Chains A and B, each alone.
Chain A
Amino acid sequence: MSIQSALTLGPARGRGRGDVPADAGPVETGAAERSDEDRRVVRRRLGPGRRLRGAFWIGPALLLAAWSLGSVTGLISPAILTAPWDVLAAGRTQWTEHDLLDDITASLRRSGLGLALGVAAGTVLAIASGLSRTGESLIDGPIQIKRSIPTLALIPLFIAWFGIGEEMKIVTIGLISMIPIYVNTHNALRSIDGKYAELAETLDVSRARFIRHVVLPGALPGFLLGLRFAVTSALLGLVVVEQYNATNGVGHMMALAENYGQTDVIVVGLVLYGVFGFLADTGVRLVERKVLGWRRTLEG
Chain B
Amino acid sequence: MAPHAGGLTPAEIDPETGAAGPVGSVGPAGPAVRVRNLHRSFNRAGGVLNGLDLDIAPGEFVALIGRSGSGKSTLLRALAGLDRDVRGHGQIQVPDAVSVVFQDSRLLPWKRVLDNVVFGLRAADAKQRGRQALAEVGLAGKERAWPTELSGGQQQRAALARSLVHQPQLLLADEPFGALDALTRIKMHALLRRLCEVHRPAVLLVTHDVDEAIMLADRVILLDDGVVGTDLRTDLRTDLRTDVEGRPQADPAELEQRRTELRHVLLEALGATGEHLGSDFIAPGKRRAS
Chain A residues with CB under 8 Å of chain B are: 130-133, 136, 194-205, 207, 209-210, 213-214, 217-218, 220, 293-296
Q: Are B108 and A204 in contact (CB under 8 A)?
A: no
Q: Are B148 and A214 in contact (CB under 8 A)?
A: no
Q: Are A205 and B109 in contact (CB under 8 A)?
A: no
Q: What 9 pairs between A and B have smallest CB-CB spacing?
A: A203-B120, A217-B110, A202-B100, A205-B120, A197-B9, A204-B5, A199-B106, A294-B110, A201-B5
Q: Are B119 and A296 in contact (CB under 8 A)?
A: no
Q: Are B109 and A214 in contact (CB under 8 A)?
A: no
Shortest Cβ distance from A207 into chain B, in angstroms? 7
For A220, list chain B residues within 8 Å (CB).
Answer: 110
Interface of A is mostly: helix
Residue of B nearest to A200 (CB): B8
Q: Are A214 and B108 in contact (CB under 8 A)?
A: yes
Give the docked Cα–Cα distance between A242 and B4 (Å): 55
Contact of B7 among A195, A201, A202, A218 (CB under 8 A): A201
Give the docked Cα–Cα distance between A114 and B90 (Å): 55
Categorize the interface residue count of chain B. Answer: 20 to 34
Q: Are B8 and A203 in contact (CB under 8 A)?
A: no
Shortest Cβ distance from A224 into chain B, in angstroms? 13
Interface of B is mostly: loop
For B155, list chain A residues within 8 Å (CB).
Answer: none
Give the docked Cα–Cα distance between A296 and B150 (Å): 13
Contact of A295 among B102, B108, B109, B119 (CB under 8 A): B109
Q: Are A197 and B166 in contact (CB under 8 A)?
A: no
Q: Residue among A133, A195, A205 with the most chain B CB within 10 A?
A: A205
Contact of B8 among A136, A207, A295 (CB under 8 A): A207
A195-B106, A201-B81, A202-B98 known; A213 vs B10 contact (CB < 8 Å) = no
Contact of B102 among A130, A199, A210, A293 (CB under 8 A): A199
Contact of B110 among A131, A198, A207, A218 (CB under 8 A): A218
Residue of B nearest to A209 (CB): B120
Shortest Cβ distance from B99 into chain A, in angstroms? 7
Give the docked Cα–Cα distance between A291 and B80 (Å): 33
Q: Are A194 and B82 in contact (CB under 8 A)?
A: no
B237 CB–A CB distance under 8 Å: no
Give the docked Cα–Cα distance between A130 and B8 (Å): 11
Contact of A296 among B4, B8, B120, B148 (CB under 8 A): B148
Give the docked Cα–Cα distance between A297 and B176 (Å): 27
**Which B residues between 87 and 120 are near A, CB-CB below 8 angstroms?**
98-100, 102, 104, 106, 108-111, 119-120
